[in-house]
Amino acid sequence: MSNKPLILILCTGNSCRSHLAEGLLRQFAGDFLEVASAGSKPAGYVHPLAVQVMREIGVDISTHTSKHMNEFLNRKVETVITVCGNADQACPMFPGQMNRHHWPFDDPAHATGTEEEKLAVFRRVRNEIAAVFRAYADGRRDARQ
C-alpha cells in the first residue's frame, strides 16, 4: 500500500483505454500518484494492440490485468477518472473519493480493417489519452509546489 493518492481510471471493459491511461499516467506522475484501472464489466484481458502501441513509446503494460471496479471499494480512492460513457454512468462513489473527472475517448477495440488500420486507431487514441493525462499530471505536479 502506498501513501500516494490513488487515482482510479475506469472504463467498461478495462481492456484498452483505461490501461492506456493507467500506463501513461503512471509514467507521467507515478512518482507522486498511485495509479490503477478497472472496469464495470471487465473483459478479462488487456487488448494485445494496446500492449503493442504502449511498447512503441517505451511503456510496458504487458503485466496489467483486467479488474472489476468493486476490487477498489475498500480502498481510499482520491480521484476517479472515467474514460468512457458507460463507466461514468456505472461508477459508484468510492470511500474517500474527493474528485471525479469524465474524459471520454473512442474505444480502439472497435476498430476495423487491416491490422495496420487498427493499429492507427490504437495509436491515435493513445496519443489523445497521452495529451489529456500529461496535462492532468502537470497540473497535479504544479499544485504540489
Q: Which residues are catalytic?
A: 11, 84, 91
Spatial CA neighbour of 84 closest among 111, 102, 65: 102
- Sign of torsion over alpha carbons 72, 10, 102, 91: negative
- Ramachandran category for residue 33: left, alpha or beta (phi over 0 → left; psi -120 to 50 → alpha): beta
